[in-house]
Amino acid sequence: MARWQAQWVAEQLTQLGHAVEILWITTTGDVTQGALTQQGGSGLFTKEIQRAVLDGRCDLAVHSLKDLPTEPVEGLMLAAVPLREDPRDALVTLTPVDSIFSLPEGGRIGSGSPRRAAQLRKLRPDLEVVPIRGNVDTRLRKLQDDSLDAILLAAAGLKRLRVEHHAILPLPTDQMLPAVGQAALGLEIAADQADLKDAVAALDDPATHQAVLAERSMLRALRGGCLAPVAALASCRPGRITLRGAVFDLDGSRSVQTTAESVDSDPIALGKLAARLLISGGASNFISPLRPDPSIPGGSA
């Protein structure tokens, strides 16, 4: 998926008349074998790439915004956010199903996301959530090799990789609210590169950019980190941003949800407002025990 993202951005910049060379960088998240939560979670897929921008080895970093920590890095800026792909999660099965409620009782569902697992348990407490990791192809193989009834993946990744040999059912966001920044790319550059900022600005979609800023502001105010069971989805229309946010207990038995709107189109303030509403509803009770251990490298959110 990371290769698809980088190649897509390279193609867009090439079409705009810019010369582009791709530098492939292996991150900690790429080589980690165990659960990401045991490694601290935050920045596992981004820190080495950000370091390459800071030391001048590359000019532009392409991130999946779902993986990019919300704490700003001095010397870097989020220069552009292209048009978002479908932000929903999707149920992938070997044979088609009509809904998540069509899965067999006691079925085994693969997911490596605490957020997805919590919402799945909320919808279907009878299902067994089986932890899985790896790229999309690896997870799809596990669907059959590990005798799973379904796996949960981002609809955007399946579409971008043109997965066609499985039954794919995008889930309504009122059943499965996506991760902060899901399906959106973030183009990050050194903050002092004004010329480069102008070059990548052509790839920016203002509505998507405003939406993900609101979502990321909410997550940052919650101090949830990339792997906490926090979900959000913002939408923009002229003069107004609407943000839906939720925090779940890992077992799916409890949740706090809110919807907030901004009439002055200030995404940062809107995210903070949504976080305050969630915290007032008790969201900290779910998040605090899951905050990464700062003694683990990369463990601070």
Same domain, 192 and 285: yes
Q: Which of 120, 150, 170 marks a domain boundary?
A: 170
pLDDT tier, 264 (very low <50, low <70, confident <90, very high otherwise)? confident
Q: Are residues 196 and 255 in the same domain?
A: yes
In a domain, 154, yes or no: yes
Tokens 């969201």, residue located: 283
User: Which pLDDT value is given to residue 227?
Assistant: 72
pLDDT at 294 over 60: no
- Determine the pLDDT at residue 24: 87
Tell me the percentage of the chain whose pLDDT exceeds 90. Answer: 75
Residue 93 lies in a domain: yes
Q: Which of 170, 194, 210 is the last residue of a domain?
A: 170
- Domain CATH code at residue 137: 3.40.190.10
At 44 the pLDDT is 55
What letter does residue 102 receive in the DSSP assignment?
Answer: G
* Angle CA 8–76–178, to nearest 5: 55
Contact 291/247 with Cβ under 8 angstroms?
no
Per-residue pLDDT tens over the stretch 271-288 = 999 999 999 999 999 998
Where in the sequence numbering do the catalytic residues fall? 67
∠ CA 18-1-10, rounded to 5° = 5
Residues 276 and 261 in one domain: yes
Inside any domain, residue 247: yes
Q: What is the pLDDT of residues 169-192, one digit of tens each?
A: 999 999 999 999 999 999 999 999
Burial of 75 from C-beta contacts in 10 A (0-12 / 13-18 / 19+): exposed
Average pLDDT over residues 61-80: 94
pLDDT at 295 (0 to 100): 46
Residue 298 falls inside a structural domain = no
The domain containing residue 96 runs over which residues?
89-170
Q: Is residue 200 part of a domain?
A: yes
Q: Does the structure show a pLDDT above 60 at 59?
A: yes
Distance CA 219, CA 226 (A): 9
297 has pLDDT over 50: no
pLDDT at 218 over 90: yes
Mean pLDDT of 254-260: 97
Residues 103 and 75 in one domain: no
Residues 6+ apart with CB under 8 A from 125: 252
pTM for this predicted structure: 0.89
Are both 103 and 202 inside the same structural domain? no
What residues pair up with 108 in beta bridges, in sequence order?
128
| % of the chain residues with pLDDT over 70 | 90
Q: How confident is the model at residue 76 (pLDDT cuts 50, 70, 90)?
A: very high
Q: At what angle do helices 267-280 and 206-222 cross, to 10 degrees?
A: 40
Let me know whether 191 and 277 are in one domain: yes
Q: Does 297 reside within a domain? A: no
Whether the CA torsion 118, 123, 129, 135 is positive or negative: it is negative
pLDDT (0 to 100) of residue 300: 37
65 in the same domain as 197? yes
Has residue 300 been placed in a domain?
no
Same domain, 107 and 160: yes
DSSP 8-state secondary structure symbol assigned to residue 201: G
List, for residues 93-128, the tens digit of each pLDDT value: 999 999 999 999 999 999 999 999 999 999 999 999
d(CA 28, CA 44): 5
Contact 48, 56 (CB under 8 A): no
How many domains is the chain built from?
Answer: 2
Model confidence at 62: pLDDT above 90: yes
| 54 and 201 part of one domain | yes
Same domain, 17 and 99: no
Residue 251 lies in a domain: yes
Instruction: For residues 37 and 156, state if they share a domain.
Output: no
E strand spans, 172-225: 185-190
73 & 208 share domain: yes
CATH classification at residue 49: 3.30.160.40
Helix residue ranges, H only, 67-154:
114-123, 136-145
**pLDDT score of 224 more than 90:** no
Higher pLDDT, 271 or 44: 271
What's the pLDDT score for residue 40?
46
The pLDDT confidence band at residue 2, using thresholds 50, 70 and 90, is confident
Average pLDDT over the chain reads: 89
pLDDT at 298 over 60: no
